[in-house]
């Protein structure tokens, strides 16, 4: 159903009213009905804002809808784990629970040498024949597993050692691009892999705020992301500008035949994908893609340190299999290391013992 079709059913989607009557004037049934409409509308507004970058309403209007939902839930005791209001934090945790991944989150074989990329493609051709590849930016953030059951976010787990990681679900719920509830005709069970990151502009602004408060700035966006997602206080995470790109299915009750098919469906579910993904016919096109991404690197709003080249066909992936450490159907073609500049924050002069 399109947004236009939904307008008649949900008054809070397009040009929503914000001149609400006092919550004390509503009956419990009226409050329940309004809460459901507000939750549905806010989820759609989140999807339009974070996934499609096409918001339907102004930020001020969104804030008014959100505040109304929060007031109703508090007044009538209608809080729910899947409510958008759960994305603003909560009580600090004492520690994270370590949990096992639905499927192992293996690493990717990688190199900065073009000969190694061609060797990867030669091996793929020998084992499964000619294939198409999906080329994606290699995000320099924090990889995580997101598990949805019946469309509801059940848990979010850091990669850890690849077999198990920290359950940071409460922190993940505070990130705007992590839907609490999937949209559309989603699988009953879906475990996806995503990269949590801090956009460059947001990172710079956040560091300025830290310096103004007398705190040490983060060295880079990746460190800022890693330090944030493992905060024990979700309210701290909610204040920091994290975002997510989703890029792989780890497990699902329904699987597409190709990786590109999965990525095409992600936005339908409210899962944000990167707009620089390309499908190519051979490895030379993938190499050329990497060169273009290296050229565009500084123009992007997020940090990348290479590209990932993946076999598109799922049957071919199954045949290629994996080693104990990495999937054999993917290869990361890394960028040259950046020249790092270490700022001098203080100079201390002293006389040595020999004068």
Give the per-residue pLDDT at 63: 83
Domains, the chain, in order of start with CATH, read: 3-88 (1.10.287.610), 106-334 (3.30.470.30)
pLDDT for position 341: 47
Of the two residues 6 and 197, the one the predictor is more confident about is 197
Global pTM value:
0.77
The contacts of residue 265 (CB under 8 Å, 6+ apart) are 256
Residues of the chain with pLDDT > 70, as a percent, come to: 90
- Residues 223-239, mean pLDDT to the nearest whole number: 92
pLDDT recorded at residue 79: 85
Going from the C-alpha of 276 to that of each of 3, 75, 132, 307, the distances in angstroms are: 26, 45, 17, 10
Question: pLDDT digits over 79-105, tens only?
Answer: 887 788 876 545 555 789 999 999 999
Nearest to 302 by CA among 243, 218, 240: 243
* Inter-residue long-range contacts of 16-23, CB under 8 Å, 24+ positions, other chains counted: 16/41, 16/57, 16/61, 16/65, 18/61, 18/64, 18/65, 18/68, 20/68, 23/71, 23/72, 23/75, 23/76
| Residue whose pair of structure tokens reads 């995470």 in the numeric block | 237
Angstrom distance (rounded) from CA 280 to CA 71: 51
- In angstroms, rounded to a whole number, what is the distance separating the alpha carbons of residues 209 and 250? 37
Percent of the chain with pLDDT over 90: 74
E strands of 79-234, at which residues?
A: 98-100, 107-111, 133-139, 142-149, 152-158, 164-166, 189-197
Active site residues: 138
For the chain, the average pLDDT equals 89
Structure tokens at 62: 């969104």
The pLDDT tens digits of the residues spanning 286-318 come to: 999 999 999 999 999 999 999 999 999 999 999
Q: Encode pLDDT of 235-262 as tens digits.
A: 999 999 999 999 999 999 999 999 999 9
CA 192 – CA 29 distance, rounded (Å): 37
Integer Cα distance of 331 and 308 in angstroms: 6
Of the candidate ranges 35-39, 45-49, 73-77, 185-189, the one whose mean pLDDT is the lowest? 45-49
């Amino acid at each position: 159903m399109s947004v236009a079709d939904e307008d008649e059913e949900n008054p809070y989607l397009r040009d929503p009213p914000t001149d609400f009557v006092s919550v004390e004037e509503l009956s419990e049934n009226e409050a329940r009905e309004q809460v459901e409409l507000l939750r549905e509308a806010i989820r759609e507004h989140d999807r339009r804002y974070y996934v499609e970058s096409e918001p339907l309403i102004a930020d001020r209007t969104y804030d008014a809808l959100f505040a109304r939902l929060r007031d109703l839930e508090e007044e009538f005791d209608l809080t729910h784990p899947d409510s958008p209001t759960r994305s603003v934090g909560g009580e600090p945790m004492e520690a994270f629970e370590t949990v096992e991944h639905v499927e192992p989150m293996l690493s990717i074989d990688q190199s900065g040498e073009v000969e190694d990329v061609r060797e990867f493609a030669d091996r793929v051709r020998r084992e499964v024949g000619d294939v198409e590849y999906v080329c994606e930016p290699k995000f320099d953030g924090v990889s995580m597993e997101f598990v949805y059951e019946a469309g509801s976010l059940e848990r979010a787990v850091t990669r850890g050692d690849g077999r198990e990681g920290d359950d940071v679900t409460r922190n993940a719920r505070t990130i705007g691009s992590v839907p609490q509830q999937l949209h559309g005709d989603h699988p009953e069970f879906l475990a996806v892999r995503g990269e949590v990151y801090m956009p460059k502009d947001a990172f710079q602004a956040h560091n300025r705020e830290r310096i103004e408060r007398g705190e040490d700035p983060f060295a880079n966006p990746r460190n800022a992301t890693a330090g944030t997602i493992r905060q024990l206080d979700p309210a701290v995470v909610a204040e920091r500008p994290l975002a997510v790109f989703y890029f792989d299915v780890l497990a699902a009750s329904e699987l597409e035949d190709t990786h590109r098919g999965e990525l095409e469906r992600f936005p339908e579910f409210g899962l944000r994908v990167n707009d620089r993904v390309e499908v190519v016919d051979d490895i030379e096109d993938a190499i050329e893609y990497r060169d273009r991404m290296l050229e565009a690197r500084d123009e992007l709003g997020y940090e990348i340190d290479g590209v990932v080249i993946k076999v598109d066909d799922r049957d071919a992936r199954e045949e290629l299999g994996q080693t104990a450490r990495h999937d054999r159907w993917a290869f990361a073609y890394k960028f040259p290391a950046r020249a790092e500049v270490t700022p001098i924050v203080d100079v201390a002069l002293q006389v040595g013992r020999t004068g």
